[in-house]
Amino acid sequence: MKNRVETGSLTNGPIDLVLSCVDNYSARMTVNAICNRVNQIWFESGVSESALSGHIQILVPGETGCFGCASPLAVAEGTEGTIKREGVCAASLPTTMGIIAGFLCQATLKFLLNFGTLSYCLSYNAQSDFFSSYKIAINP
């Protein structure tokens, strides 16, 4: 993947942006390590196992915290492996995935076309229609 980030553009140069929507912490940490190594901006997204919440996060090396700077609660508590329930598909509420995908696309267009204000971390709670927006600081 490192090679793809460094030479994957149409001109064989570095790409403009990494977008991700993976389903686990270790995959995010792999993307995080590569983006940090090559100084690549990364737009991360995710939906909770219950599909009742989600987020997008914009990670700018040297400007925002990286994905490792603030571990998700389930990872910090060591319960990530216990969240997944056998036989339960996380895509059971596809509207949440659609909403988060829409925010990821909107942020991508704002970044690439240089308009509006980017939310570095935008979280959505589907049960209460609550949104929060904040910036994750670099953890020294």
Give me the least distance between CB of 126 and Zn ion, in Å please.
28
Q: How far apart are CA 37 and CA 52, in angstroms?
A: 33
Q: How far apart are CA 110 and CA 26, in angstroms?
A: 28
Closer residue to Zn ion (CB): 34 or 51: 34
Helices then strands, counting H and E runs in the chain, come out as 5, 5
For 64: left if phi > 0, alpha if psi spans -120 to 50, otherwise beta; the answer is beta
Catalytic residue from among 35, 66, 69, 89: 89
Closer residue to Zn ion (CB): 8 or 68: 68
Give me the least distance between CB of 118 and Zn ion, in Å please.
19
Q: How far apart are CA 56 and CA 96, in angstroms?
A: 12
Using the Cα atoms of residue 54, residue 139, residue 110 and residue 22 in order, give the sign of their dihedral: negative
How many residues comprise the chain?
140
Closer residue to Zn ion (CB): 9 or 39: 39
Binding positions for Zn ion, rule: CB under 5 A? 66, 68-69
Give me the least distance between CB of 83 and Zn ion, in Å please.
23
The verdict on whether 89 is a catalytic residue reads yes
Residue linked to tokens 């389903």: 23
Give me the least distance between CB of 42 and Zn ion, in Å please.
12
Which residues are marked as active site?
A: 89
